[in-house]
Amino acid sequence: MINYIIRRILYAIPILIGVNLLTFALFFVVNTPDNMARIHLGVKHVTPEAIMKWKHERGYDKPLMWNSAAQGAKQASDTIFFEKSVGMFAFDFGRSDEGRDIAHDIKTRMWPSLAIALPVFMVGLAVNITFAMLMAFFRATYIDLSGVVLCVAMMSVSGLFYIIGGQYLVSKLLHLTPISGFDAGSNALKFIILPVVIGVIGGIGSGARWYRTIFLEETSRDYVRTARAKGLSELSVLFGHVLKNAMIPILTGAVVVIPLLFMGSLISESFFGIPGLGSYTIDAINAQDFAVVRAMVFLGSVLYIVGLILTDISYTLVDPRIRLE
Amino acid sequence: MMLFKPVFLWTDMLLWLLLAGVAFYVWRVRLHEHLREPWRRLLRSRSGVASAVVLLAFVAVGVLDSLHFRLPLEKQGNGAETHYSPEVLSVFDLMVGPLRKQVEKTYSAPFASQLYTKETIELPGGKQVRDYPRLKFGGAHLREPAREQAGDVAVTALQGGVYALALCGGLTFMLALWLARRRSISPGAAWTMIRHGRDEIPWRTFLSTVGLLALFVCLATAFSAKYHIFGTDKVGQDVFYLALKSIRTGLMIGTLTTLVMLPFALLLGIMAGYFRGWVDDVIQYTYTTLSSIPGVLLIAAAVLILQVYMDSNQELFDTVAARADIRLLFLCVILGITSWTGLCRLLRGETLKVREMEFIQAATAFGVGHFRIIARHILPNVMHIVLISIVLDFSALVLAEAVLSYVGVGVDPSMQSWGNMINGARLEMAREPMVWWSLLAAFVFMFVLVLSANLFSDRVRDAFDPRVR
């Protein structure tokens, strides 16, 4: 088991190197530091001196990959690639183009993100599985059919409308919660409730329908027929056998997103004014702060790969047939 | 002098290429019974027929909106060179002429005959009052809107209803005649067959969907000549017109993305599954790397970079439309790059299965080359996966456009799209009194398109996936 995990982690390294090289190419080769400086200083009426100064302050005036002017090991290390990209492997994200410490920002901003994303994930999973079980229990009846129709209709509404509609109804008409904002400690609760509820509702359509398919696939298996043949009630078949066996495909989809919960949701965080990583990324995109976007791309990939490894490990926990060698 | 100067936008040409591809596919399907069978199964389901009709209506608007040209300006003096207007129009713009030209001053509510904001109006006597001024076009034919409007709306609705009824009647008649010829029965018998739903194709569903569409079109035509159905936006443009124009953007994102990514996914997926070994390793590494980057961030990064490029090379684009078009195309490419990995993985898995089958082994034993085996034996056997995933991706892509435009990395702000409409509506929602109609229009159009795409894709999966049968 330990051996397998170590091997998986080693296997992740080339992928991370690939991500790193790709982001480096996107941000420094396709789009040169000169272009970045012009975007920040204004496209017209900008002097070459101002560009040089801007680049120097952020360390973008060094050679890209290889510094032939330096001595010894500095030839490789005194470059943009080494300073801006290699450091990311040690989670050293450097400073944003505005001069803020990105690692510190990430540390403080991931908690509000998690405060929204984790409840959305947990409650959403529970709600979706409950609805899916209901539909599977009443399969091929009008309850099931109308459930599916409702799911398809809910899937067809853009997530933006759930947020706008929810904010309008709950905050503006009923005045139940504040429209947006965030607070520390237990005061945060009133700000969290609405985004969580909307997040859960927005996910029901696709989630419940997907789990329903999984449950229906399981109910057509032989062991279900055996369980019914030995006289078990439909409810105990569903909970005792189908749910357990359906955990494997459910886990595939669910575990992989757990690490990504730290990244928060771009849309709902910016609508609700939550100071998390999602709104951090949106602000960076709008301010064209390339350093922050680069850091978030790398962080997101790391978390995704961690999620893949966690998925494999979780298989062994729910499925005794799988042994990781 | 020419009457107009055609404008060939990149996305237009790709759309026509795509249509040519679809036409080629349809021609092939007509020839081969085994290709025709799944489509027949699709057309036998009621939700399949209904969603197909609605999708076709959207596609028709999108295609008409993809024939672009520029009209000449007024000639100045004799022999002078003809100059063309910088405004790029489409055939669709001409068809809905009044919608495009009836521009008010600023916000006005749906079916309103007055502006939404008070202004100082000068009375004939020289006195000034603050009141809601009358609109230039909406309800302009009414003398006393408060009294006459209800009656006028009822009469116009009745007119539209009568047109729709006539249209539907004509269509039903033609359908009965056509069916009678095809099935070689009398028209009366064909009509009974349609009415009782005895044919294998659910004609009743077809007719009622077409009827609803016709009713909508007739009402919209009747009303939009006199009123603004969905009101007007901040600069006084008709919101209904903007929502209709957004159809093209949504369709482009939904279809061109797939067109762009398809060659990569097909080639690499089949190669990985067929050759295995180091080819497989390299391709798997590529798509794992790409898919581990969060999609929105990769798109954001790429669009930021495109913006920088376009800002520093402004001379490349002669019209605003060309500029917006390149951005749309690039967005499709980037969306394609982030979404091809899923299809590639599926194709690799399926190819791994297919290549072990006896007929492939027989082909190898006969000494058929790799290329021919892939093209003639493997490709046709994985095409159902391609078709299912194209249709499944469509609705997700239409929804993604709205989110990306909201984040600020979507289509060009000058391009009409539902995402831009929603984005603008955010500020309008905060106004007091609220401006809700552009949000409503975007919601209705997106919902209908995505819902019918979702229903259609469900039926396509049922008809084509061998596991479901």
> What's the pLDDT at B60?
92
| pLDDT tens figures, B291-318 | 888 888 888 878 877 877 777 777 777 7
Amino acid (1-letter code) at residue B439: L
The pLDDT value recorded for residue A204 is 92
- Alpha-carbon gap, residue B246 to B448, rounded angstroms: 13
Chain A residues whose beta carbon lies within 8 Å of the beta carbon of residue B254: none
pLDDT reported for residue B469: 53
The percentage of residues in chain B with a pLDDT greater than 90, rounded to a whole number, is 15
Lowest mean pLDDT segment, chosen from A50-54, A231-235, B162-166, B336-340: A50-54
- The confidence score (pLDDT) of residue B297 equals 80
Q: How far apart are CA B76 and CA B83, in angstroms?
A: 9
How far, in whole angstroms, is CA B237 from its chain's centroid? 21
Those residues whose C-beta lies under 8 Å from the C-beta of residue B120, and which sit 6 or more positions away, are: B128, B129, B130
> With contacts defined as CB-CB under 8 Å, which chain A residues touch B300?
281, 285, 293
Q: What is the ipTM of this complex?
A: 0.85
Interchain contact, A266 vs B407, CB within 8 Å: yes
Residues of B in contact with A14 (CB under 8 A): 285
Residue B236 is classified by DSSP as S
Please give the pLDDT value at position B2: 65
* Chain A residues with CB-CB distance to B392 below 8 A: none
What are the angstrom distances between the C-alpha of B110 and each of A240, B138, B226, B355, B430? 56, 9, 12, 60, 19
Q: Where are the domains of chain B?
A: 145-224, 244-464
Alpha-carbon span A313 to A75, nearest angstrom: 42
Q: Is the pLDDT of residue B354 over 70?
A: yes
Query: In this structure, are residues A192 and A283 in contact, taking their beta carbons and an 8 Å threshold?
Result: no
Contact B407 A285 (CB under 8 A): yes
Contact A296 B406 (CB under 8 A): no
pLDDT tens-digit readout, B169-181: 998 889 888 988 8
Q: How far apart are CA B325 and CA B9, in angstroms?
A: 7
- Cα B456 to Cα A12, A145, A147, A208, B453: the distances in Å are 39, 16, 18, 19, 5
pLDDT tens digits along B93-106: 888 877 777 777 77
Q: What is the spatial distance between Cα B7 and Cα B17, in angstroms, rounded to a whole number?
A: 16
Do residue A286 and residue B408 have CB atoms under 8 angstroms apart? yes
Q: Do B309 and A31 touch (CB under 8 A)?
A: yes
Query: Model confidence at B269, in pLDDT bands (50, 70, 90)?
Result: very high
CA dist B166 to A320, B199, B318, Å?
A: 67, 24, 46
List chain A residues with CB under 8 Å of B429: 164, 168
Structure tokens at B428: 């309008």
Residue A175 backbone zone (phi > 0: left; psi -120 to 50: alpha; other: beta): left
Tell me which residues of chain A have a pLDDT lower than 70: 43-44, 65, 70, 72-77, 323-325
Its CATH class, for the domain covering B244-464, is mainly alpha
Please list every residue in chain B whose beta carbon sits closer than 8 Å to the beta carbon of residue A30.
Answer: 305
Burial of A111 (0-12, 13-18, 19+ CB in 10 A): middle
Cis peptide upstream of residue B433 (ω within 30 degrees of 0): yes
Which range is least confidently modeled, A212-221, B185-194, B383-392?
A: B185-194
The per-residue pLDDT for range B427-452, each reduced to its tens digit, is 787 777 778 888 889 999 999 999 99
pLDDT tens digits, residue range B105-155?
778 888 777 777 777 777 777 777 777 777 777 777 777 777 777 888 888
Tokens of B286: 């590529």
Strand-pair partners of B306: none
Q: What pLDDT does A324 receive?
A: 61
If we measure between CA atoms, which residue out of B386, B384, B385, B427 comes closest to residue B406?
B427
What is the DSSP code string of A249-283?
HHHHHHHTTTGGGGG--HHHHHHHT--SHHHHHHH
State the smallest CA–CA distance between residue A189 and chain B in angstroms.
24
Closest approach of A182 to chain B, Cα-based (Å): 19
Supply φ then ψ for residue B416, to 5 degrees: -70, 125
Cβ-defined contact of B426 to A164 (cutoff 8 Å):
yes
CA nearest neighbour of A255 among A205, A308, A204, A300: A308
Min Cα separation B333/chain A (Å): 15
pLDDT at position B154 is: 87
pLDDT score at B390: 87
Q: State the Cα–Cα distance between residues A90 and B352, nearest whole angstrom.
A: 38
Residue A45 has a CB neighbour count (10 Å cut-off) of 7
Consecutive H or E run containing B265: helix B239-275
The pTM assigned to this predicted structure is: 0.89
The pLDDT assigned to B55 comes to 93
- State the pLDDT confidence band at B56, using cuts at 50, 70 and 90: very high
pLDDT value at position A128? 94
Average pLDDT rounded to a whole number, residues B54-73: 88
Q: What distance in Å separates the CA atoms of residue A80 and residue A94, rounded to the nearest whole number?
A: 12
Contact A19 B292 (CB under 8 A): yes
Sign of torsion over alpha carbons A266, A268, A270, A271: positive
Cα of B76 vs its chain's centroid, Å: 40
Q: What is the pLDDT of residue B52?
A: 93
